[in-house]
Chain A
Amino acid sequence: MPNFLRLLQNENMKIYRRTGTLAMIGILILVTIAFASITKYDESGYLFGAPTKQNNWQTELQQQITHDKQSLQEEDLPKPYLDSLKEQIALNQYRLDHDISPNEGTLWGFMVNTDSLTALIVLFTIIVASISVAGEFTWGTIKLLMIRSSTRSKILLSKYLATLGFAVSMLIVLFLFSLTCGALLYGVGNLSSPYLVYEHGGVVEKSMVLHIFTLYGLRCVSLLMMVTFAFMISTVFRSSSLAIGLSIFLTFTGNTIVGILSGMNVSWAKYILFANIDLTPYFQGSAPLEGMSLSFSIIVLSIYYLIFMALTWILFNKRDIVSGD
């Protein structure tokens, strides 16, 4: 489909030729560097060079275990708290028994933390997605775009894919930059250290690399959902500011809203998009809310995704173009 590839080229040109987009890439790189420097400095008090003297982690872990065991003795502890204490004790004991130091101060330990920077990518991709559709209406360019021999669906698809492409590029930039910064600041020793999980009452060793990829992968799920949501809002309301505002607001308050509702024992809280958008708990052996499972969340997310997509496509194809007056 050479024609479709040309549409994609067009959308990419419109994304990357904007000063705003270049600023986003710059900000992401700067924030990664700042994040790496601050984390490292905070942990070890200096910037460069691998931490030579491993602080005495065995003693620290032993103290932690003693402290946790004392906490266990207290009465009336809520069950989730009790469970997490037991889990902590088991994991720490395993480290002592098998001489596996905690990941603090290593490249992998740092990479595990950088996944939170994907929040920035969610933010930027929401902006790009919103401008992709609504921007054409604001600029009035939608009219010239639609009186060419491409169907509206093809144009919309090219916009959607170009936006996802932007998200993927940003993820790659983030990953590679974190890796570089991490390697520079922490060195590349200790890479074989495993990732420990508490599963079915026992501690299991897993691959750290796989763990980091899983973290990034799970972030992609919420990225995909929020971008698709922003895409829908900007198609429905044809306003990029509304799409940006609403999507960002929900991204950063969604968790809180779900927390409040579940605190009020609202039974349908688990069907809310934001209760399902973060799948990490399932991979740490728990669930976001009671009565939820990974397959439940995947089904709920798929239904939301299909609804967002269907609404976007139907409205984009049906409605008259009356903007730019």
Chain B
Amino acid sequence: MSQKPVLHAQGLTKVIGNKKLVNNIDLTIYPGEIFGFLGPNGAGKTTTIRMLVGLADMTAGKVTIAGYDLEKHFEKAISHVGGIVENPEMYKFLTGYQNLIHYWRMCKGVPKSRIDEVVNQVGLEKRIHDKVKTYSLGMRQRLGIAQALLHSPSLLILDEPTNGLDPKGVKEMREHLLQLAREENMAVLVSSHQLAEMELMCDRIGIIQNGSLIGVKEMREFRDEPTRKIRIIADPIQKAHQLLQQFLNTPVEQQDHALIMEVEHEKIPDINHFLVNENIKIYAIMHINQTLEDRFLEMTGGNSIA
């Protein structure tokens, strides 16, 4: 990309005691893109995000946000960031609106009318004057996003924003983030341990495991994947196996009454046609759903996992 990055982190490392929680992570995020920070629980996502927003000191490394060094010019750098770290915790004894006033007072040069704008944007108009203790998790998540958007940040950082949301809530969240990235050119960093969700909204994802970033990939590379694994259930299976082995030049594996192979998408009808012509009975041809992680690991070499 030719644009200037909004976030640039270099050699980000966090050591507590003798444990390396985050190990030498480099991250660059550009305006208008949604970057997925993917990794199992305990991988170090939250710890990394805490350092990116100045909640935790970095043991080593350097973070630049919108051109400002986070450590040297904290107030300037952080004024470009909006975020939620872990759960969207708000003052429960205040109303949603009072919570927003609270954070609005901490923003420089933002007109008060902006509060109503973000309330509309996250669709909380009806309940905004109720106390937060009466809110559902989804509503608190939306209020959290509203406070993060108050000062129109160039970088939005959300730590596991879909945690605990129902499928409808996840879908709304996804559409909202996509709109922020596409229409307002915001850079969005979302972390998650759920692969399927990331797949639907991210432009790029980075996988973190045991504190190390093991690779960053464009999602397009996943979507336009040339080959996929399929499973064919056929009879007689032995004959089908021999025939296919000759017909394809890739290895075919037999598991009980099924054959497993990796083929190009366009080739699937040909295989079907070929087997039918050879008088093989076909009961099923299906994709094997590999997890995003499996596919990701295949693409990144897969051997860097500890």
Residues of A within 8 A of B (CB): 3, 6-7, 9-10, 13-14, 17-19, 139-141, 143-151, 318, 320-322, 324-325
**Residues B102 and A10 in contact, CB atoms below 8 Å apart:** yes
> Can you identify 22 A-B contacts, CB atoms within 8 angstroms?
A7-B105, A7-B106, A9-B105, A10-B106, A17-B94, A141-B90, A143-B55, A144-B89, A144-B144, A145-B106, A146-B54, A147-B83, A148-B106, A149-B76, A149-B79, A150-B75, A151-B74, A151-B75, A318-B57, A320-B56, A320-B57, A324-B86
**Residues A148 and B78 in contact, CB atoms below 8 Å apart:** yes
Looking at B79, B90, B102, the one whose CB has the most chain A CB atoms below 10 A away is B102
**Interface code B37-73, partner A: CB below 8 Å = 1, 0 otherwise?**
0000000000000100111110000000000000000
**Residues B92 and A325 in contact, CB atoms below 8 Å apart:** no
**Residues B105 and A149 in contact, CB atoms below 8 Å apart:** no
> How many contacting A-B pairs (Cβ < 8 A)?
81
**Interface code B86-112, partner A: CB below 8 Å = 1, 0 otherwise?**
110111111000100111011110000
**Residues A322 and B56 in contact, CB atoms below 8 Å apart:** yes
Chain A residues whose CB sits within 8 angstroms of the CB of B209 once the complex forms: none
**Residues B87 and A13 in contact, CB atoms below 8 Å apart:** no
Q: Which residue of chain A has its CB nearest to the CB of B159?
A: A143
Looking at A19, A145, A322, the one whose CB has the most chain B CB atoms below 10 A away is A322
Chain A residues whose CB sits within 8 angstroms of the CB of B108 once the complex forms: 3, 149
Chain A residues whose CB sits within 8 angstroms of the CB of B107 once the complex forms: 148-149
Number of interface residues of B (CB under 8 A): 33
**B198 CB within 8 Å of chain A:** no
Residues of B within 8 A of A (CB): 50, 53-57, 74-76, 78-79, 81, 83-87, 89-94, 98, 101-103, 105-108, 144, 147
**Residues A150 and B57 in contact, CB atoms below 8 Å apart:** no
**Residues A141 and B75 in contact, CB atoms below 8 Å apart:** no
Q: Which residue of chain B has its CB nearest to the CB of A143?
A: B85
Known pairs A144-B89, A147-B85; list 7 more (Cβ under 8 Å): A144-B103, A144-B144, A147-B78, A148-B103, A320-B50, A320-B56, A321-B50
Chain A residues whose CB sits within 8 angstroms of the CB of B105 once the complex forms: 6-7, 9-10
Q: Which residue of chain B has its CB nearest to the CB of A21?
A: B93
Q: Which residue of chain B has its CB nearest to the CB of A325?
A: B86
CA distance A7 to B94 in the complex (A): 16
Chain B residues whose CB sits within 8 angstroms of the CB of A146 once the complex forms: 54-55
CA distance A7 to B78 in the complex (A): 17
Closest Cβ–Cβ distance, residue B74 to chain A (whole Å) = 7
Chain A residues whose CB sits within 8 angstroms of the CB of B92 once the complex forms: 139
Chain A residues whose CB sits within 8 angstroms of the CB of B94 once the complex forms: 13-14, 17
Knowing A6-B106, A146-B54 touch, does A19 contact B93 (C-beta < 8 A)? Answer: yes
Closest Cβ–Cβ distance, residue B80 to chain A (whole Å) = 9
Q: Which residue of chain A has its CB nearest to the CB of B157?
A: A147
**Residues B91 and A14 in contact, CB atoms below 8 Å apart:** yes
Chain B residues whose CB sits within 8 angstroms of the CB of A318 once the complex forms: 57
Chain B residues whose CB sits within 8 angstroms of the CB of A320 once the complex forms: 50, 55-57
**Residues B106 and A149 in contact, CB atoms below 8 Å apart:** yes
Contact of A143 among B78, B89, B91 (CB under 8 A): B89
**Residues B74 and A143 in contact, CB atoms below 8 Å apart:** no
Chain A residues whose CB sits within 8 angstroms of the CB of B86 once the complex forms: 140, 143, 324-325
Q: Which residue of chain B has its CB nearest to the CB of A5?
A: B105
Q: Which residue of chain B has its CB nearest to the CB of A11?
A: B102
CA distance A144 to B54 in the complex (A): 11
Chain B residues whose CB sits within 8 angstroms of the CB of A17 once the complex forms: 93-94, 98
**Residues A141 and B55 in contact, CB atoms below 8 Å apart:** no
CA distance A324 to B84 in the complex (A): 12
Chain A residues whose CB sits within 8 angstroms of the CB of B57 once the complex forms: 318, 320
Chain B residues whose CB sits within 8 angstroms of the CB of A140 once the complex forms: 86-87, 89
Chain B residues whose CB sits within 8 angstroms of the CB of A150 once the complex forms: 75, 106
**Residues B53 and A147 in contact, CB atoms below 8 Å apart:** yes
**Interface pairs A-B: 5 shortest CB-CB:** A140-B89, A6-B105, A320-B56, A149-B79, A148-B106
Closest Cβ–Cβ distance, residue B67 to chain A (whole Å) = 15
CA distance A318 to B55 in the complex (A): 10
Q: Which residue of chain B has its CB nearest to the CB of A20?
A: B93
CA distance A149 to B76 in the complex (A): 7
CA distance A151 to B73 in the complex (A): 10
Contact of B78 among A139, A141, A149, A321 (CB under 8 A): A149
**Residues B85 and A141 in contact, CB atoms below 8 Å apart:** no
